[in-house]
Amino acid sequence: MFEAVEYVVGFGLEHRDLSGITAIGIDEIQVKLGHVYMTLVYQIDVHCRRLLWMGEGRTEEVLGGFFDEFTGHLSTVKYVCSDMWRAYLNVIKLRLPSAINILDRFHIVQNLNKAMEKVRREETQYLKAKGFEPHLTGTRWCFLKRVENLTSKQADRLKETLKYNLKSTRAYLLKEDFQRLWTYNQPARAAAFLDGWCKAVMYSKIKPLKKFARSMRRHKPLIINYFKAKKQFSSGAVEGMNSYAKLAMRKSFGFKTKKGLKITLFHQLGNLPEPQLTHRLW
């Protein structure tokens, strides 16, 4: 069976059409414990979403291997979606200088939630150490979920907790206010809002949020590229395909070889042309 799938994937990789690629997404997935990663590059055009390439690791050299292999097929690429991993940003800037690099909205919100959780966790420990009422105990998901996704019990608990003058309350209000960024359509207005939000955070004296705001300021041009691209591209498609990749890995109960991983993921996500078989392969 493996030989049959290997033949089909090999045929598909040799005969796939790589012309007209205008948008790609770059991300990594963890394939083993101990920070063992694979870099995955997807085509995320509206008409075609598929796995293009995968390499072992997440360094500049690894991603450079993709550009070396696909040199003749990237002249039409206008948009690149990635997270804030410095190695990826460096290679994209060097190898696709004219493309619009869009920072992944998913990871931006994820980093903001991590900052929010750090604020809540530190304040929970502080209240406990000082012998105050444990207002924040068991409120993690009340602060991290969007309001529309809260259960009635969580919504009631959040409403009660927000009555208290806590650092976590101020952090939560700033976190929720940040979501307004994604409602803008014009890059200039989005940039003005981001500037104002970061300024408010720096005045808040909430250290985890200040660290996040400084990151937003450093990456501001790449964040605003999302609006310059008229919100047509984000890494939502990449995260979706990453989920399928992780599911395929779980179903396979791990892989004995990197070759097996590559064949499985391209078979599932490569959108490859299939050979016209005239006889059975097994």
Asked if 17 and 33 touch (Cβ cutoff 8 Å), the reply is: no
Domain total of the chain: 2
> What pLDDT does residue 243 have?
86
As a whole number of angstroms, the distance between CA 282 and CA 273 comes to 20
Structural domain including 197 reads: 105-220
Please, which residues bridge with residue 38 across strands? 29, 57
As a whole number of angstroms, the distance between CA 217 and CA 187 comes to 15
The number of residues making up the chain comes to 282
> What pLDDT does residue 254 have?
56
Please, which residues bridge with residue 53 across strands? 41
> What pLDDT does residue 259 have?
78
Ranges assigned E (strand) in the chain? 23-32, 36-45, 48-56, 79-82, 100-103
> What pLDDT does residue 69 have?
94
pLDDT tens column, 203-218: 999 999 999 999 999 9
pLDDT tens column, 105-121: 888 999 999 999 999 99
Q: How far is CA 270 from the centre of its chain?
A: 20
Task: Supply the CATH number for residue 242's domain.
Answer: 3.30.420.10
Asked if 73 and 19 touch (Cβ cutoff 8 Å), the reply is: yes
- Is residue 54 situated within a structural domain? yes
> What pLDDT does residue 245 have?
82
> What pLDDT does residue 257 have?
66
Residues 94 and 117 in one domain: no
> What pLDDT does residue 32 have?
79
> What pLDDT does residue 256 have?
54
Residues 127 and 99 in one domain: no
List, for the chain, all residue ranges whose pLDDT scores fall below the cut of 70: 1-2, 252-257, 276-282
Asked if 172 and 163 touch (Cβ cutoff 8 Å), the reply is: no
Residues 120 and 100 in one domain: no
Residues 216 and 155 in one domain: yes
Residues 252 and 198 in one domain: no
- Is residue 276 situated within a structural domain? no
- Side chain identity at residue 171, one-letter code: A
> What pLDDT does residue 280 have?
55
